[in-house]
Chains A and B, each alone.
Chain A
């Protein structure tokens, strides 16, 4: 057998099973059916409960004969409990051996019931245990539930281990929802629905993020370009102005040449002197610039010390006062204290070898004195050095300031002399010579214009520097926006990816729903026709809304008009279809499979049962009314094991038939 089967169930003291009961259920492909027969209340449902208790720690199957329900009874056999005193405990277990061709897993759940008072009990179950075969060896497995989930998980076990009699209610009012839930359950549609919901939610988050980083790079680029254009205009103006200045200088040079060609020696001499002074002025102006920079540096160095000189002097006085008054820690050499510690005797005569506390004090004192003395000496030295340096720094600053003033005075003198030369030349009237006065007037006018233009150029260059900063700032702003835009683009791509992925998952979901519905419909129809006792063939439709329609030769048979037996066969077929679609190859155990079916159809169903779920191990828990001699005759060739549950004096014994 390729599907998982139950090889063995062993019960000890479980409910009406007293002592150890061992039920061999091993089947083969030829004989894939087991029958366990017993009258109502003999313990058939509890065999199903034993399986679910062992695997899932649950007992959902209530015996119709037991009106009080399982909760009223202890887990351990009552007769065993009656043998013990109040306060004592009786133990039991359920052990199920599973495998394909040979035993592979042994699942065990132990339980115990304590007798808390006469007729009062308290039961508890232990954790599931598993021994697994690895080659010839059996080993305990740490996580039995994980292995069990691989064989028959909790959520699908109801389609493998079920009570046939209760199935009758499956197709009663409100069945559509039950059918839909079951189909969605076995096909894991929830998985796809969750994926779609989560993709939607992630998409929403991405969209919010994208709106946060949505930039306006084009606007900012326009602003950047505008600033760049202004800069270019200013630089163009600068170039024109520089050309104008250059032209004006050339004009002056032309005038100077004419003046140098004057026949008058005084004019030539003045012109020469002016040339010399102009060159000197240029040099001195450069020197003034450098001297100003040096003076600024010297002032920056001297300033803090000079402004705080009073405070530093006050601090130094305080140091001296402390030193004089003995408030400053004495400059006790560290080596001297070391020596005292080594000798083991303090200067006051205390034996610090025997008095550890005193020794510790001396050690701490050594540490404190050393640190404070060092800090105090360092502090005093630093203040003293700062004060000494203050005077030097102030002297340097004064000296540099003086140099600036000297150069400025020199420049003033040069300018004054140049003005004088100009005035003298302007007043010259020399016959038969160049018109010196007119030339000088022209020169003066041009020189004034050059000065204006230089001033204008200076202002223009200032504007250009500011504009360059503006351009840089706008460029950086634009680039940051571009980065934001890139991030925005990436987020948009992700959003599109999530959107497309969601469409695809939704499409998969729609296809699977359709496929599962079709497969359920096909399996349901096949199983129904395999089991139903009628000669004619039935068509079964499972609509998109999960309604079930049964069509016989004379048309549709309303579900409400189906007999109890037909409804049970329909439910049995539905369970089988679901077990097939679930993808798990587990054994099927059905309690009271033919309970609702009257004798004639029962015989016909029995005739068809051997072909039903042929690849699975089938274990039927049947009443004596179900397992009639006729049913027995139809099944006999396919039955591997047949047991009879004999119930006497509240104890069930499993008898091999």
Chain B
């Protein structure tokens, strides 16, 4: 494993998430957090908002609107 990578234990668990959007979104935010792990108060809001905009689209949330 490279230090820059997310631990395989975490990746194995996230791989088990069935919904593609959630799986990809979570992997992206973990990858982002991994690059900032050595910082005490890393910036995140902009990255998160941009990922949410990409993944939380109307189409892929249809299934959740009535929850």
CA distance A187 to B12 in the complex (A): 12
B48 and A508: CB pair below 8 A? no
A141 shortest CB reach to chain B, Å:
15
Residue count of chain B within 8 Å CB distance of chain A? 36
B39 shortest CB reach to chain A, Å:
10
Given contacts A149-B4, A493-B65, A505-B26, contact A202 B10 (CB under 8 A): no
Which chain A residues border B48 with CB–CB below 8 Å? 198-199, 202
- A sample of 5 more A-B contacts (CB under 8 A), given A149-B4, A583-B8, is A188-B6, A195-B33, A496-B67, A497-B56, A583-B1
List the 7 shortest-distance A-B pairs measured between CB atoms, nearest first: A497-B56, A149-B3, A583-B1, A153-B3, A150-B2, A188-B7, A508-B13
Which chain B residues border A505 with CB–CB below 8 Å? 26
A508 shortest CB reach to chain B, Å:
4
CA distance A577 to B60 in the complex (A): 42
Interface flags for B50-67 (1: CB within 8 Å of A; 0: not) read 001101101001001101
The answer, yes or no, to whether A234 is at the interface (CB within 8 Å) is no
In A140-193, the 8 Å CB interface with B consists of 146, 149-150, 153, 187-188, 190-192
CA distance A582 to B1 in the complex (A): 9
Which chain A residues border B6 with CB–CB below 8 Å? 188, 191
Interface flags for B17-42 (1: CB within 8 Å of A; 0: not) read 10001100110011001101100001
B45 and A496: CB pair below 8 A? no
CA distance A496 to B34 in the complex (A): 25
The answer, yes or no, to whether A494 is at the interface (CB within 8 Å) is yes
Stretch binding the partner chain, chosen from A40-48, A275-283, A337-345, A509-517: A509-517
A189 shortest CB reach to chain B, Å:
9
B8 and A191: CB pair below 8 A? no
CA distance A190 to B38 in the complex (A): 11
Which chain B residues border A501 with CB–CB below 8 Å? 22, 25-26, 29
The answer, yes or no, to whether A413 is at the interface (CB within 8 Å) is no
A508 and B61: CB pair below 8 A? no
Which chain B residues border A498 with CB–CB below 8 Å? 52, 56
CA distance A191 to B13 in the complex (A): 14
CA distance A27 to B10 in the complex (A): 32
Cross-chain contact of B13 among A205, A512, A582 (Cβ < 8 A): A512
The answer, yes or no, to whether A546 is at the interface (CB within 8 Å) is no
Cross-chain contact of B4 among A150, A194, A198, A583 (Cβ < 8 A): A150
Interface flags for A202-227 (1: CB within 8 Å of B; 0: not) read 10011000000000000000000000
Which chain A residues border B4 with CB–CB below 8 Å? 146, 149-150
Cross-chain contact of A508 among B14, B36, B64 (Cβ < 8 A): B14
The answer, yes or no, to whether A543 is at the interface (CB within 8 Å) is no
CA distance A496 to B29 in the complex (A): 17
Which chain A residues border B13 with CB–CB below 8 Å? 508, 511-512, 515
B7 shortest CB reach to chain A, Å:
4
A517 shortest CB reach to chain B, Å:
11
Secondary structure type dominating chain B contacts = helix
A191 and B17: CB pair below 8 A? no
Residue of B nearest to A490 (CB): B58
A195 and B30: CB pair below 8 A? yes
B1 and A584: CB pair below 8 A? yes
B37 and A202: CB pair below 8 A? no
Which chain B residues border A190 with CB–CB below 8 Å? 37
Which chain A residues border B45 with CB–CB below 8 Å? 198, 201-202, 205
In A474-494, the 8 Å CB interface with B consists of 490, 493-494
A187 and B7: CB pair below 8 A? yes
Given contacts A191-B10, A497-B61, A501-B26, contact A202 B52 (CB under 8 A): yes
Which chain A residues border B29 with CB–CB below 8 Å? 195, 198-199, 501
B52 and A494: CB pair below 8 A? yes
Which chain A residues border B64 with CB–CB below 8 Å? 493, 496-497, 500
The answer, yes or no, to whether A504 is at the interface (CB within 8 Å) is yes
CA distance A202 to B48 in the complex (A): 7
Which chain A residues border B65 with CB–CB below 8 Å? 493, 496
Which chain B residues border A511 with CB–CB below 8 Å? 13
In A114-153, the 8 Å CB interface with B consists of 146, 149-150, 153
A515 and B9: CB pair below 8 A? yes
B10 and A192: CB pair below 8 A? yes
A583 and B7: CB pair below 8 A? yes
Which chain A residues border B2 with CB–CB below 8 Å? 149-150
Which chain A residues border B1 with CB–CB below 8 Å? 582-584
B26 and A195: CB pair below 8 A? yes
Cross-chain contact of A516 among B9, B36, B67 (Cβ < 8 A): B9
Of A195, A498, A584, most buried by chain B (CB within 10 Å of CB) is A195
Can you list 23 pairs linking A and B with CB atoms under 8 Å apart?
A149-B4, A150-B3, A150-B4, A188-B7, A191-B6, A191-B7, A194-B33, A198-B44, A202-B44, A206-B52, A493-B56, A496-B61, A496-B67, A497-B64, A501-B29, A508-B10, A508-B13, A508-B14, A508-B26, A512-B10, A516-B9, A581-B9, A583-B8
